[in-house]
Structure 1
Amino acid sequence: MSKPKVLVVGAGGIGMIGAYTLHYNKRCEVSVIVRSDYELARKRGINIDSVAYGKVDNWKPANLAANTTEAMEAFGPFDYIYLATKNIPDGSNKCEDVIRPAVTPGLTTILMVQNGIDIENAMFEAFPANIVLSGVTLSGAQNLHLEVKHVGPEVCTIGFFKHPTIDEKILEAKAKEFIELYSNDLNTITYEPDVRSSRWRKLVYNASINPITALAGLDYSRVELCDGRATVLRPAMDEVVKVALADGYIIPDSHVQAMLEVSSGLFYTPSMLMDVRNNNLTELEIILGNCVKIARRHEVATPVLDTLYALMKMKQFDIKEKNGIIKVDTTINKDYSTYGKGF
């Protein structure tokens, strides 16, 4: 019996550790998309320094490709796509468009190992005949030009997004099938029967700490030193908890406190701050924008989140302009006849 074929799309730290985990387990055939560093990956391989797997030099997965079209032609069709790209629906490369060439209708299961909430809707619209799974992972991993640093053992919950036409028993079986492929003694992978719950819990961190550090331009510990925990972090988290409650999910105060403590004293740079510093688009809409939209739907007041969202939209606008995604007509109106009146 042939092994299932898994295509990993998104070669950041999480994606690379995911790919290596699947390779390490030897239960499937692993193909990996490496775009900007493809030639380096093909010639030298990938260096991994992992708290779980140790030092691995010059690792190459079974198959490498520069894009999903090439991967499909050479190594497909795929039973699973492990999708670990950033999810930026207001950017130029939407996730569903990136993976579209590699998706076989009715066959390929899409595992979204991504941040945010309500992220499945675009996938269902693009691929109505396919199963879409949720993966919520905590695993400190970064990849800089195929030098992968993995500092925290992976803890991941996997479950299914409810499908309008596919029976939930089939969806559950598919989620548990992937867990069998992915689990080992070096990670903690559990089945999540209600994936929206785990996404709300992670959003407590992501919808508060990520935009606040990005806007301040400070790592988490420096925000704490400026009394940011009491003045903005906790109020933002409390609003996420209120929205989650209106959506039907109770988040205990102990979890909020844990999210406040998880990066304390580490001078940790959250992903949104890193993106802003590198002039990369942020996951603004799926993390903060969707949370605010859910709040409006349930008529929950969120003044702190609303302000963070408005300011981050301006920051995102600036990044788009710097990257040439949008262009602004800066022609100045020369009529100064009303300038200064009213002061």
Structure 2
Amino acid sequence: MKRRKFIQNTAMTGIGVSMAAVTVACGEHSDINTKKTNKSMNASEETSTKPKPIAICTWAFTKANEAAGKALSEGADALTAAIAGCEVEEENLKNTTVGKGGAPDREGNVTLDACVMNPQGDCGAVVCVSTITNVAALARKVMEETPHVMLASEGAEEFGYSQGFKKEKLLTEVSKEAWLEWQKTSKYKPIINIENHDTIGMLALDANGDIAGACSTSGLSYKMKGRVGDSPIIGSGLFIDNEIGGAVATGMGEEIIKTVGSFLIVELMRNGMSPQEACEEAVRRVVAKNKNYKDFQVAYIAINKAGSTGSYCIHEGFTMMKYQNGINEAVKSDFHHSS
């Protein structure tokens, strides 16, 4: 068996519990659940025709989203396009939060995390990779060529070499100098919207109407050795249900994991919310569970089968990129908290 049905294998046995949990949890916001608007129509109600291909990504990663969008325009499938977008930032040495050149951990080692999910519900992930740049593509190989969902550290790297990935040094001189400067105070505090948690999350809807996604990051700057956030965790950093839509997260991974944010958004869309409404509700869940929410950022983007998109964040400053019909535009996200 080459592909893993990670979520689908348990969907039927867990659907009663899942739906009950969503119903109870959403009861806190019954006004959202009972109020039907044009925004909260199901995908089947919004359109009976397939939307034109769309690529969206977290933050203002203009070139990355353009690469994904152009790949879709040229006929690429959704997952191939999403990974192509991630690769742009994984190879961008000026990006200190994704790929080669990412900020290291407290010991000065760069470690990368990534995951992918295809329209069939298969998924793959890698964590703590320190010698391979294109970890989103590596996660795809885990999904397609192994019986597993996730590989870690040296195991992931050795598998990558067997698949033709090149061994590289990920710490650049610029990142090393910044790390040495940080060591003078060794102060750690998340900086809202300032490149210490800016994961690239990509969602793509292709010409066949299929949705897939990829997520890639170097994690929090100067994190503890071995720390893994939400980005490679299916259901937290990324989740796809091709019958409904997909979502991806960025920001403080520990908080996103606590609410299984991306899965939550897809389930909310399943129950009638638009992508925008679902992103807003997911952010509210984070805020409701942490009184210190003013100290960190969490942001989500989502897309449904009709091609509707949404984004929302805790603090002002988050941007979603959207590519459709040859137009690549930055969409400023609405936000929960005003400073």
**Category of TM-score, reference length = shorter chain:** under 0.3
Q: Which protein has the larger Cα radius of gyration, Structure 1 or Structure 2?
A: 1
Q: What TM-score comes out, normalization by structure 2 length?
A: 0.25
Q: What TM-score comes out, normalization by structure 1 length?
A: 0.25
Tell me: higher relative CO, structure 1 or 2? Use CA pairs within 8 A at least 6 residues apart: 2
